[in-house]
Structure 1
Amino acid sequence: MKMRFIVPLIAAAGIALSAPVSAEDYVIDTKGAHAFVQFKISHLGYSWVLGRFNDFSGGFSYDEANPAASKVSVTINPASVDTNHAERDKHLRSKDFLKVDEFSQITFTSTGYEVMGDNKAVLKGDLTLHGVTKPIAIDVTHIGAGKDPWGGYRRGFEGTTKLTLKDFAIPMDLGPASSEVEVFLSVEGIRK
């Protein structure tokens, strides 16, 4: 089965944020494997294929006094797609799906952050996938923030969104049950 991707990813990534002068800047902790860009897509309506992107980077800014000014930027290497099946991953990298030889990056840049209350927000931004840029919205939960055992300071978010493959000109069509991909992002940032 072939997937439709993200990104997710943004985030999500994403899913982090940024702000003006009093904002704190964070680097997404991919080195310590404390961030994930994962996806789920129906296989013909009979089961689910789960996967992730292993290679991505990014950062965000967040201001507790003005969360609406938050920003995030993430870059994903689509060739790092991993569904735990080498032949399927090879197909996902091909012209039928991600066409990684031509489109070597998936990017997400935020354009807005709408606070909903109870640590919930909607992160809006532009996702570029398969050479197509579209606005997307990611439902975000602020998990928490605080000191870590190594003298640093961390902040974490999770987010979900759905992407329609045809919106990003992904040519493979496996039918209506497989037309959308669900994206889950878990992001832990280390304050600079």
Structure 2
Amino acid sequence: MKKTLATALISASLMLPMGANAADYVIDTQGAHASIQFKVSHLGYSFVVGRFNEFAGGFSFDSKHMGDAKVNVTINTASLDSNHAERDKHLRSEDFLNVAKHPEASFKSTSVKELGDGKFVLNGNLTLNGVTKPVAIDAKFIGEGQDPWGGYRAGFVGQTEFALKDYDIKMDLGPASSHVTLDFVVEGIRQ
């Protein structure tokens, strides 16, 4: 599954439409230079924090024309990890992500709104638990340049929040736990 997912996403990322000077990047998950983390309030008293250990994707961008950027990411939902085996089993169940029926989540960008100083809003469609809805990710370009191994890299961070019920997640833990925050750290290697 892991190799198939990575191969499919690398192929898909290379087919992203590019602007005049845009370059294609593959997200560096093999070197663990990227992460997708989640945070949900636990009854209003603390937070459950976790991550998805397996995801892949790519992006196409030119730092001088950020508005033309494209992003495509697929997440293996069964790779959810909150550092608690019994809770993870419940989060993978029909009460939450229903990974048996929906083994993948995905994000595909639709537009970028530049805000200046490297900040931008990445708009796109998030598919989770079999439901696709638009989301806006508040993002920032961190930088780009040569790496010590002869490659070229670019990096970003981003965050979005949405209501669990919007993605047909039926478990109701009360109003304090109704939303999830996703945090992204993305480093890509130019192809």
Q: Deviation of residue 22 (structure 1)? A: 1.9
Q: Deviation of residue 183 (structure 1)? A: 0.9
Q: Distance in 2 between matches of 1:166 and 1:130?
A: 11
Q: Deviation of residue 18 (structure 1)? A: 7.1
TM-score (norm 1): 0.90
Determine if the alignment matches structure 1 residue 31 to structure 2 residue 30: yes
* Aligned pairs (5 A) from 1:101-180: 101-180=100-179
Q: Distance in 2 between matches of 1:181 and 1:18?
A: 31
- State the one-letter code of the partner of 2:187: E
Report the structure, 1 or 2, having the larger helix content. Answer: 2
* Aligned pairs (5 A) from 1:38-117: 38-117=37-116
- State the one-letter code of the partner of 2:133: K
- State the one-letter code of the partner of 2:106: T
Return closer, same or farther for 1:188/1:62 CA change in 2, 3 Å cut-off. Answer: same
Q: Deviation of residue 21 (structure 1)? A: 3.4
Q: Deviation of residue 130 (structure 1)? A: 0.4
Assess if the C-alpha contact under 8 Å between 1:18 and 1:60 holds in 2: no
Q: Distance in 2 between matches of 1:24 and 1:122?
A: 20
Q: Deviation of residue 32 (structure 1)? A: 0.1
Q: Distance in 1 between matches of 2:148 and 2:51?
A: 28
- State the one-letter code of the partner of 2:158: G
What secondary structure, in the 3-state scheme, does the structure 2 residue paired with 1:40 have? strand
Aligned length: 176
Q: Distance in 2 between matches of 1:58 and 1:28?
A: 6
- State the one-letter code of the partner of 1:121: F
The runs of 5 or more residues in structure 2 that have no matched partner are 1-15
Partner of 1:11: none
What secondary structure, in the 3-state scheme, does the structure 2 residue paired with 1:90 have? helix
- State the one-letter code of the partner of 2:51: R
What secondary structure, in the 3-state scheme, does the structure 2 residue paired with 1:155 have? strand
RMSD of aligned residue pairs (Cα, Å): 1.1
Q: Distance in 1 between matches of 2:138 and 2:53?
A: 22
What secondary structure, in the 3-state scheme, does the structure 1 residue paired with 2:101 have? coil
Q: Distance in 2 between matches of 1:19 and 1:165?
A: 33
What secondary structure, in the 3-state scheme, does the structure 1 residue paired with 2:89 have? helix
TM-score (norm 2): 0.90
Q: Distance in 1 between matches of 2:63 and 2:122?
A: 15
Q: Distance in 1 between matches of 2:101 and 2:123?
A: 26
Q: Distance in 2 between matches of 1:44 and 1:61?
A: 40
Q: Deviation of residue 101 (structure 1)? A: 0.5
